[in-house]
Amino acid sequence: MLWSDPRDEPSPEAREVQRRLHRTAVVMAVLAMIATALVLA
């Protein structure tokens, strides 16, 4: 890779998809913790 090459940055659409996937993963993790607490309680 040359110094003059453009940086490999994701497109705005790809960045939005990554943000949405991350948010979904966080929500799923929280729901899993709540479900586990309810089952063990």
| pLDDT of 10 | 81
| pLDDT of 19 | 97
| Token pair for 8 | 């490999």
Taking CA atoms, 18 is separated from 21, 24, 25, 29, 36, in Å, by 5, 10, 10, 16, 27
| Segments of the chain scoring below 50 in pLDDT | none
C-alpha torsion angle, residues 12, 14, 19, 22 (rounded to 10): -170
Domain locations along the chain:
16-41
Q: What is the pTM of this model?
A: 0.67
